Structure 1
Amino acid sequence: MSNCKLDHSREDVKNKYESQRLFLPEEINTRFAGFFSGEPTQAELNEMFHLLKKYDLSSEEEQQERNKQILLLLK
């Protein structure tokens, strides 16, 4: 994803997730609570934020690629 110089907080990622939740596959939604119950690193928070950013506006192909990357972060 894009290389951003900003560090995104847990709250930033939660808010971005909530704004995109309806567009995400159920498989991702059911696993997302575990991401926040753990201790994601700053790099993981930043990456997740950018994977979720404008997810709803992405092409289906782009969404599928993002889904793979999101699922890797959720494991």
Structure 2
Amino acid sequence: MSQCQIDHSIEDVKKKFESQSDFLPEEVKELFSSFFSVAHSQEKLNEIFHLLKKYDLSSEEEKTVRNEKFLQVLK
């Protein structure tokens, strides 16, 4: 994924999560409730946003890679 120059707010991340949540595995979705309950750095918000972005259109291989990154970042 390329680096984006836009800083995404927690609201942006929440909206993107809501739009992609039906496509995420349960173990990843469960981690978001605790993620949204605390403050995060801008870098982390941007990273999560871009992992979520177009998740539904990703190949199965790409989804596997993203799921692993979600587990690393969200735990």
TM-score by length of 1: 0.96
Q: Structure 2 counterpart of 1:40, which letter?
A: H
Q: Give the CA deviation at 1:40.
A: 1.2
Shift of 1:2: 1.9
The residue type equivalent to 1:7 in the other structure is D
Aligned residues: 75
Q: Which residue of 1 aligns with 2:54?
A: 54
Alignment RMSD (CA, Å): 0.7
Residue in structure 2 matched with residue 70 of structure 1 by the alignment: 70
- Give the SS at the match of 2:36: helix
* Identity value in percent: 61
- 8 Å CA contact 1:2–1:50 kept in 2: the answer is no
Note the C-alpha offset of 1:38: 1.5
Q: How far apart, CA to CA, are the structure 2 residues paired with 1:56 and 1:21? A: 9
- Output the TM-score relative to the length of structure 2: 0.96
List runs of 5+ in structure 2 lacking aligned partners: none
Q: Which runs of 4+ in 1 moved over 2 A?
A: none
CA distance in 2, matches of 1:2, 1:18: 23
Gaps of 5+ in 1: none
**Residue of structure 2 in register with 1:7 after alignment:** 7
